[in-house]
Structure 1
């Protein structure tokens, strides 16, 4: 069974995404790093067993010869939740039971973190991005290293016309797949300041 690993909030610039999250949740994000293969960079927020990733194109890195993950090459507008990521113990086995468009296993690294992730060849996950990305960690997990923010994910909603196709992928009680006309994602958090929402 796949388990919830993290949520991704995309932004046109990392600074803009960080400001949006810190304003919404009332907390400072931890450092992140760069992803040379994708020419992206991120900042992170520990949520206990999972984490929130703010990700954007790195303007100081050369454009890669392939599409960036999370369809960042076509991202525009306000910072917002765009993707969710499920973890597994065996990526190859997991992919054998998922749509082909979820992507090809790719070895990645950032600092001493090592992982394999399915990356679609065009950067776009199935069902207009509603399908989760899938990851297999090989060693430490970021959530184990992040400072405890005192914030916890209480609910994550994926609203999509393809809700039926996403049912049964995981059984986290915090995740709800909702039938809707257009894709949207919404996360509710418990914080020291009361419930807060990111969309």
Structure 2
């Protein structure tokens, strides 16, 4: 028997911010949707905390920031949070792809997104790729890989807000290499649009009850 091609699909969008409050306010302003009451928690190991918003079954948006009340971690924080300048504006910085076999997907990927780390938050347990220096591979255009080890998926616990991802546009000077890596891990989703461009840029068109709004 030949090797089985891995399968992956979009899991969540990542908005980084200098503070959780600023990030949530930015999302609410852009989408016209309230994130209150906050649903999320703390990542004790990495000194961060987050807030989640449903984008439909099996998919959500995460706002993440350094937790000012947590002690500094012994390693670099994920999602390049250590590199955020003071007062940095919130932005759509990254996205994460879900797979049923993270080790197989990592081996198949033609661009390495990091090493597999064990993470947990409350009753949630998962494996995720994180670069040793916390940086985002390909400026955030290449997704981190995640494998959930607990059930149900986090999106199942989030209120239905009538929001859905319509399109995730990825622009990058190495778009072809990124596309080859997505193909290698079995990620084929009509909502993902990859385009060659002089500089990296991510933008998400999200259908809301108020019409289509854009996060970038």
Q: TM-score, normalised by structure 1?
A: 0.96
- How many Å separate the matches in 2 of 1:165 and 1:80? 24
Q: Structure 2: how far apart are the matches of 1:100 and 1:157?
A: 19
Following the alignment from structure 1 to structure 2, what is the Cα–Cα distance between the partners of residues 20 and 81? 10
For structure 2, list consecutive stretches of 5 or more residues without a partner in the other structure: 1-6
Counterparts of 1:12-161 in structure 2, within 5 Å, are 12-29=18-35, 30-49=38-57, 50-76=59-85, 77-99=88-110, 101-140=112-151, 141-161=153-173
Q: Distance in 2 between matches of 1:127 and 1:23?
A: 28
The answer on whether the counterparts of 2:166 and 2:191 sit within 8 Å (CA) in structure 1 is yes
Does the C-alpha gap of structure 1 residues 100 and 198 become closer, same or farther in structure 2, counting only changes over 3 Å? closer
Greater C-alpha Rg = 2
In structure 2, how many angstroms separate the alpha carbons of the residues matched to 1:128 and 1:153?
A: 21
Distance 2:81 2:65 in 1: 7
- Backbone CA RMSD of aligned residues: 1.2
Q: Matches of 2:122 and 2:137 in 1, distance apart?
A: 29
Number of residue-to-residue matches in the alignment: 199
The TM-score with structure 2 as length reference comes to 0.89
Q: Secondary structure at the match of 1:108?
A: strand
Contact 2:39 2:52 in 1 (8 A): yes
**Unmatched tracts of structure 1, length 5 or more:** none
